[in-house]
Amino acid sequence: MKKGKLINSEISHVISKMGHTDMLTICDSGLPIPKNAQRIDLALKEGVPSFIETLDTVLEELKVEEVVIACEIEDISPNLYEKIVKRFKDIKITKVAHEEFKNLTKESMAVVRTGEFTPYANIILKSGVVF
């Protein structure tokens, strides 16, 4: 049995295939998921699992060199924005308009849908390298 915190086989598989700058999206329950993207749906009910809980678990396994968030999060969901910034102190945070963010998700290897109901609780993680 897998020893680490991340035991979801679909997410583990996607991370194991990721190379430098490949992207993985973690989103709230309302973000439209592109039809051609691999959809990993974890949502059970409102708040379960939460965006932050899912993000923290993925970060246990994935080396991240840059993140992309919608600029609207800073004004609409400032508490969540601060939690994100705290996790990526030494990592580049790129802010784009929400419409551009949705277009970028089309390039993600997969989109992980959470049960989060907080507006703009979405992030694109760009893979770094461990060497």
Residue 13 counted as an annotated binding residue:
no
Bridge partners, 96 (sequence order): 70
Q: Is 28 annotated as a binding residue?
A: yes
Q: Count other Cβ atoms within 10 Å, centred on residue 94.
A: 13
**56 is annotated as contributing to ligand binding:** no
Of 13, 17, 20, 39, which one is the catalytic site residue? 20
Give alpha helix (H) positions in the chain.
Answer: 9-17, 51-59, 73-76, 78-87, 98-104
Of the candidates 39, 36, 25, the residue with the CA atom closest to the CA atom of residue 120: 25
CA 4, distance to chain mean position in Å, is 19
Q: Tell whether residue 122 is among the known ligand binding residues.
A: yes
Ligand-binding site membership of 79 (annotated): no
Is residue 67 within 8 A of residue 93, CB to CB? The reply is yes
13 is catalytic: no
Q: Which residues does the annotation place in the binding site? A: 28, 98, 120-122
Active site residues: 20
List, as residue ranges, the binding site for substrate.
28, 98, 120-122
